[in-house]
Amino acid sequence: MPAFDDDPVIHDVRSRVASLHAQLVRYGLVVWTGGNVSGRVRRGGDPGDDLFVIKPSGVSYDDLTADDLVLCDLDGNVVAGTHGSERAPSSDTAAHAHVYRNMPEVGGVVHTHSTYAVAWAARGEEIPCAITAMADEFGGPIPVGPFAIIGDDSIGRGIVETLRGHRSRAVLMRGHGPFTVGVSAEDAVKAAVMLEDVARTVQIARQGGTVVPLPQEAIDALYDRYQNVYGQQTDARRSAS
Amino acid sequence: MPAFDDDPVIHDVRSRVASLHAQLVRYGLVVWTGGNVSGRVRRGGDPGDDLFVIKPSGVSYDDLTADDLVLCDLDGNVVAGTHGSERAPSSDTAAHAHVYRNMPEVGGVVHTHSTYAVAWAARGEEIPCAITAMADEFGGPIPVGPFAIIGDDSIGRGIVETLRGHRSRAVLMRGHGPFTVGVSAEDAVKAAVMLEDVARTVQIARQGGTVVPLPQEAIDALYDRYQNVYGQQTDARRSAS
Amino acid sequence: MPAFDDDPVIHDVRSRVASLHAQLVRYGLVVWTGGNVSGRVRRGGDPGDDLFVIKPSGVSYDDLTADDLVLCDLDGNVVAGTHGSERAPSSDTAAHAHVYRNMPEVGGVVHTHSTYAVAWAARGEEIPCAITAMADEFGGPIPVGPFAIIGDDSIGRGIVETLRGHRSRAVLMRGHGPFTVGVSAEDAVKAAVMLEDVARTVQIARQGGTVVPLPQEAIDALYDRYQNVYGQQTDARRSAS
Amino acid sequence: MPAFDDDPVIHDVRSRVASLHAQLVRYGLVVWTGGNVSGRVRRGGDPGDDLFVIKPSGVSYDDLTADDLVLCDLDGNVVAGTHGSERAPSSDTAAHAHVYRNMPEVGGVVHTHSTYAVAWAARGEEIPCAITAMADEFGGPIPVGPFAIIGDDSIGRGIVETLRGHRSRAVLMRGHGPFTVGVSAEDAVKAAVMLEDVARTVQIARQGGTVVPLPQEAIDALYDRYQNVYGQQTDARRSAS
């Protein structure tokens, strides 16, 4: 096994996660240094021995390179001596680590304070599944997770408890904001982008009058089709991080 | 007749449709890989023998080139062996095909999930014609089409049944979003852009107080003038795709 | 006197008006080919003999050059044989001409369908002067002009009757949208930009609760200071077109 | 001591403050020539002998260079014979000077008319602390300062009286708009960006239903952590201007 900084798999995850941060900027999901993307590094053995790379804390999106990302183990400890290890990882690192430790199928995690998703989170209200784009992407409503203070495992536990067994790859942490997961970092970023889009659209729809959720059988049919038919065979959504 | 990939008419439609996709991005009508534009290829004989080109499914707007577009017949079947035929066409291809098959005057079709148009669609509410820009462009209210699940002809049928004989080139498919048509792909894209603009403006107007529709005779006068006077003689709206 | 196409004064107005159109795009006041800017060409004699240049009808903002603008007399007739005279001028040309003919102090006119200004226009509601930025720039509320159909002098008359003797350089034509005027084309564009800004801010303020207008004596003091003190001595607002 | 125009400390503050203005544009906090950033020049002696640099009045953001900024003493007088001294400083200079004179810990001041912050200011309503991002950044609600007319010390006095002893680095001047302060110009700009973000998010949250403030003990814990843990050790927030 090569040293971590020479490992082409780690290098590839670093490159992809660094460039995915630009999508948060492009879609207006973040301001200043807020928000973060992480990506799992699969080591090929016990998923508990996997690693992940994550954005350093308080660093500008304009300056972010692959080697600035911080490599951590699934307890959230920085892997000493590797690229970026002189920086503090995102203050949300414990939450990301908890998700990777407890959801081995997850290849990427994203956190933002995107406006409309935070608005629903501030009200502690799940987003009803009222448009076909939501049924396609999330298979139903977007659930609300508990209010949790940063600093221990409580955010990570809230994410896992809410998303485990749920179709949705997005959770609205009450009074805080959204976390999304995916089979890859790209898939988690797509979920963050689509979440803000549906959060905005459904709220704006409701500001103009009554909106009723789609029938459950229509939601089921749309979700099933989208997960199995949409996109190209090489679609990144299908591939692990 | 040259082979399809050497045909300058097809090449021209491919180029124009590919570059028109950038307008959906520019005006914020789409996120990620959502939305699609298609353009009819007129073959000079029976309109039923025409073809159309359409965006492939799940491909990024940043990467889209003319040769990535997929050439289809009016039953929605990919023309084997042509540029882009190794890709799956947009999952909305059956709807586009149905429109081309049943509305020979249509040269372009656009589908987006633009925020305010989807908001009206989610409420199942037609947009009242309350500003002169709507009267100019659409000649009256924007109608609502039926709720239809993707996967068969039902979306295409709903579009055709709603738009046939209607001044509006835009329809709000209930619970889903807008489809627009035009004499050319550019005209359909213009309709998608103007639709979101009026959907946003009329909803925001109403959020601040009462809005009443324009008098019918004013709508008629505005629509007549705009269709017959506005623009240059070489205006693309006048030319078929 | 040089031929019109060789006249450096006309060339200068053409250049400035062409580049000012980019400000409408930058601030999101227009979509597609909508909106227009014109600038008066002062001829040094009777203001009634002045000319003006205006955007051609239905031409993309991306493609607009100084020589594409159409030179017109104050009756709105195209000056034959000059740059751009092969194109139809903006369909709002008659309204611009009426303003220049009747308000000799006006050096520039702008028309857009910017979202929030049109929203107030659709309600036929003047914008109350509730923030200091409005008092600075407009000296009070933004007035509403009559509903008028395009095609004769009625829009131009409505603008002039509403703005003559009013501090505001902006009018909301009912059911249609804003027109702004200024001592120069740049000043009129600034008014269009600031109008949309205050239209948006005051409506959003009111959507969150009660907003009361500023006291009249505060409005008067702010307007007086801003018109006489703000900016550099070479500020374009002070110079005629 | 070198002459002011050769002083590397002054040169550095000029460069940083000039480039920080681009952040106001990037985050949509300003239109046209509105808004301004200033930065304190620490002279190493009595803070009352410090200087500050500020944007000139009515100058475009596109054209702004380091040497365009105007150097002033803490009474708001331009330092004659220095770069930029031929220009009038921002019309808000007296307010900035009052803040620097009375709050020696302040290294930067920012004023904008950003939409949602002005909306709360127009209502004269403090922004309740309903999301964790607000608790992190501002430690509680954003307070409202008095209505004050420009032209004397009254705006500066209102800012200082409201912010002194308050956790918030932002104040909403009633009927006018926000001022933010920070330990450096960058910190004040960050506060302006985060303020608009939370002003927008909390208003949009409330437009969709009931929003309750966070518990005080959660606010205290979040604020304490963020001020002491977040970011890198070299984080600009920690360093004086």
- Residues D115, C204: C-beta atoms closer than 8 Å: yes
- Mutation to test the A interface, candidates D137, D201, D202, most A Cβ within 10 Å: D201
Record the pTM: 0.95
Radius of gyration of chain D (CA): 17
Chain-centroid distance of CA B41 in Å reads 15
Whether A118 and chain D come into contact, CB under 8 Å, resolves to yes
Is D21 one of the catalytic residues? no
Is D223 one of the catalytic residues? no
- Residues C208, D125: C-beta atoms closer than 8 Å: yes
CB B37 within 8 A of CB B21: yes
In angstroms, the CA A88 to CA A65 distance is 15
CB C197 within 8 A of CB C137: no
> What is the mean pLDDT of the segment spanning B34-48?
96
DSSP A36-63: EEEEEE--SS-GGG-EEEEPBTT--GGG
CB C176 within 8 A of CB C112: no
Q: What residue has token string 């420009």?
A: D150
Pick C32's closest partner by Cβ from B194, B202, B209: B194
Whether B229 and chain C come into contact, CB under 8 Å, resolves to yes
DSSP D85-151: TTSPB-TTHHHHHHHHHH-TT--EEEE---HHHHHHHHHT-PBP--SHHHHHHHSSPBPEEPP--BT
* Number of other CB atoms surrounding residue A221 within 10 Å: 15
pLDDT digits (tens, 9 = 90+) for C164-210: 989 999 999 999 999 999 999 999 999 999 999 999 999 999 999 99
- pLDDT for C149 equals 81
In angstroms, the CA A103 to CA A95 distance is 12
pLDDT at A233 over 50: no
- pLDDT for A226 equals 87
In angstroms, the CA D241 to CA D235 distance is 12
pLDDT at C9 over 80: yes
Residues of chain A with Cβ-Cβ distance to B120 below 8 Å are 205, 208
* Number of other CB atoms surrounding residue C233 within 10 Å: 9
> What is the mean pLDDT of the segment spanning C130-136?
97
D contact chains, 3+ CB pairs < 8 A: A, C
CB C231 within 8 A of CB D93: no
Tokens of B33: 């890989």
A44: burial class by Cβ within 10 Å (0-12, 13-18, 19+)? exposed
- pLDDT for D9 equals 96
- Mutation to test the B interface, candidates C30, C113, C147, C207, most B Cβ within 10 Å: C113
Pick D175's closest partner by Cβ from C132, C209, C235: C132
Residues of chain B with Cβ-Cβ distance to C207 below 8 Å are 207-208
Coil/strand/helix, residue B211: coil
Hey, which bits of chain B come out as E strands? 36-41, 51-54, 70-73, 108-111, 144-145, 170-173, 177-182
In angstroms, the CA A57 to CA A60 distance is 9
CATH number listed for the domain at residues C3-228 = 3.40.225.10
Coil/strand/helix, residue A102: helix
CB D87 within 8 A of CB C232: yes
Is B83 one of the catalytic residues? no
Tokens of D35: 């808004």
B contact chains, 3+ CB pairs < 8 A: A, C
Measure A108 CA to nearest chain B CA, in Å: 17
In angstroms, the CA C184 to CA C110 distance is 11
Task: Report CA-CA distances (Å) from A202 to A132, A182, B175, D36, D208.
Answer: 11, 23, 11, 36, 10
- pLDDT for C234 equals 44
Coil/strand/helix, residue D35: coil
CB D21 within 8 A of CB D89: no
DSSP B104-125: TT--EEEE---HHHHHHHHHT-
- Residues D115, C210: C-beta atoms closer than 8 Å: no
Is pLDDT larger for residue C230 or for residue A83? Answer: A83
At C72, give phi and psi (nearest 5°).
-130, 155
Query: What burial letters (b/e) apply to A205-220, b meaning 16+ CB within 10 Å?
Result: bbbbeebebbeeebbe
- Residues C176, B207: C-beta atoms closer than 8 Å: no
> What is the mean pLDDT of the segment spanning C136-143?
98
Residues 139-178 of A with CB under 8 A from D: 147, 149-151, 175-177
pLDDT at D43 over 50: yes
CB A41 within 8 A of CB A48: no
CB B157 within 8 A of CB B171: no
CB C49 within 8 A of CB C43: yes
- Mutation to test the D interface, candidates C204, C214, C224, most D Cβ within 10 Å: C204
Which ranges constitute the DSSP H helices of B5-85? 8-26
Residues 6+ apart with CB under 8 A from C58: B230, B231, B232, B235, B237, C33, C88
Whether A8 and chain D come into contact, CB under 8 Å, resolves to no
pLDDT digits (tens, 9 = 90+) for A89-104: 999 999 999 999 999 9
Coil/strand/helix, residue D38: strand
pLDDT at B236 over 50: no
- Residues A57, D210: C-beta atoms closer than 8 Å: no
* Partners of residue C72 on adjacent β-strands: C52, C78
Measure B198 CA to nearest chain C CA, in Å: 9
Whether D204 and chain C come into contact, CB under 8 Å, resolves to no
Q: Which of D102, D222, D112, D237 is nearest to D170 (CA)?
A: D112
Whether A205 and chain B come into contact, CB under 8 Å, resolves to yes
pLDDT at C237 over 50: no
Task: Report CA-CA distances (Å) from D187 to A140, B74, D177, D240.
Answer: 41, 60, 19, 9
DSSP chain C: ---GGG-HHHHHHHHHHHHHHHHHHHTT---TT--EEEEEE--SS-GGG-EEEEPBTT--GGG--GGGSEEEETTS-B-TTSTTTTSPB-TTHHHHHHHHHH-TT--EEEE---HHHHHHHHHT-PBP--SHHHHHHHSSPBPEEPP--BTBTHHHHHHHHHHTT-S-SEEEETTTEEEEEESSHHHHHHHHHHHHHHHHHHHHHHHTS---PPPHHHHHHHHHHHHHTSS-TT-GGGS--
Dihedral in degrees, nearest 10, Cα atoms D205, D208, D213, D214: -70
Measure C99 CA to nearest chain B CA, in Å: 21
Whether A79 and chain B come into contact, CB under 8 Å, resolves to no
Q: Write down the mean pLDDT value for chain C.
A: 93
- pLDDT for C72 equals 98
> What is the mean pLDDT of the segment spanning B172-196?
98
Task: Report CA-CA distances (Å) from D202 to A121, D126, D188.
Answer: 11, 11, 21
Residues of chain B with Cβ-Cβ distance to A209 below 8 Å are 123, 125
Enter the ipTM. Answer: 0.94
Q: What share of chain B is helix, strand, coil (3-state, %, to 5)?
A: 45, 15, 40
Q: Are strands D36-41 and D51-54 parallel, antiparallel or unpaired?
A: antiparallel
pLDDT at B233 over 80: no
Q: At B101, which amino acid appears?
A: R
- pLDDT for A240 equals 30
Among the listed residues B83, B100, B176, B226, the single catalytic one is B176
In angstroms, the CA C72 to CA C68 distance is 13
pLDDT digits (tens, 9 = 90+) for C45-95: 999 999 999 999 999 999 999 999 999 999 999 999 999 999 999 999 999
Is C111 one of the catalytic residues? yes
Is B21 one of the catalytic residues? no
Dihedral in degrees, nearest 10, Cα atoms C186, C191, C192, C196: 150
Q: Report residue B121's pLDDT band, with 50, 70 and 90 as the boundaries.
A: very high
